[in-house]
Amino acid sequence: MKPLHVFVGPSLAKSDLPATLTEVHWHPPIQHGDLFRLAPGPGDRILIIDGVYQHRAPIRHKEIIGAIRAGADMSGAASMGALRAAELGEFGMRGLGTVHEWYASGRLESDADVAVAHSFEDSRFHPVSVALVSLIHSTDWLCAQGELTQTQADSLLRLADELHFAERTEQALRRVAAERGIADEMDRVLRAVAADDPGDVKARDAEAAVRALLAEDTAGAHRPTRRVDTVATSSYECQWRLDYSPGDAAGTATLGELLTFARLFLHDYPERHRRYVLDTIRQTTRAAEDHSEAGPCALAVAVGLWPARLSERAELLTRFCSDQERVTASEPELAGLLLVRSFRLRPGNLVYQDFPHRLFEESERDRLAADCEKALRLDRLAHQRVAQYSAAQIVGSAVDAAFLRLWGVEDIESAVLDRGFRDVQEFRRRARPFMVAARAMAAAHRTAEQS
Could you give phi then psi for residue 4, rounded to 5 degrees? -95, 125
Whole-angstrom Cα distance, residue 277 to residue 272? 9
Per-residue model confidence (pLDDT) at position 218: 46
Task: Identify whether 58 is preceded by a cis peptide bond (ω within 30 of 0).
Answer: no
- Domain locations along the chain: 4-118+203-230, 132-199, 238-450
- Largest Cα–Cα distance in the chain? 91
Query: What average pLDDT values come out for the chain (451 residues) when binned by 10 residues?
Result: 90 88 93 95 95 89 93 96 95 96 95 87 78 97 96 96 94 95 96 94 96 73 61 88 87 91 97 95 68 78 89 91 94 95 89 95 90 95 92 95 94 97 97 95 75 63
Q: What is the DSSP string of 111-162?
A: GGGT---B--SSTT--B-S--HHHHHHHHHHHHHTTSS-HHHHHHHHHHHHT
**Model confidence pTM above 0.85:** yes
Task: Specify the pLDDT at position 135.
Answer: 97
Angle of helix 424-431 relative to helix 255-265, nearest 10 degrees, comes to 110
- pLDDT reported for residue 292: 57
| Whole-number Å distance between alpha carbons of 67 and 44 | 9
Distance of alpha carbon 375 from alpha carbon 16, whole angstroms:
42
Q: Report the C-alpha gap between 205 and 201 in whole angstroms.
A: 6
Check residue 233 and give its pLDDT. 83
What values do phi and psi take at 221, rounded to 5?
A: -70, 150
Taking Cα atoms as reference points, which of 264, 256, 252, 255 lies closest to residue 441? 264
- Which pLDDT belongs to residue 221? 47
Contact in structure between 165 and 129 (CB atoms under 8 Å): yes
CB atoms closer than 10 angstroms to residue 11: 32
Write down the pLDDT at residue 231.
Answer: 81
pLDDT at site 19: 84
pLDDT of residue 277: 96
Q: Give per-residue burial for 173-184: e unless 16+ CB within 10 Å, then b.
A: beebbeeeebee
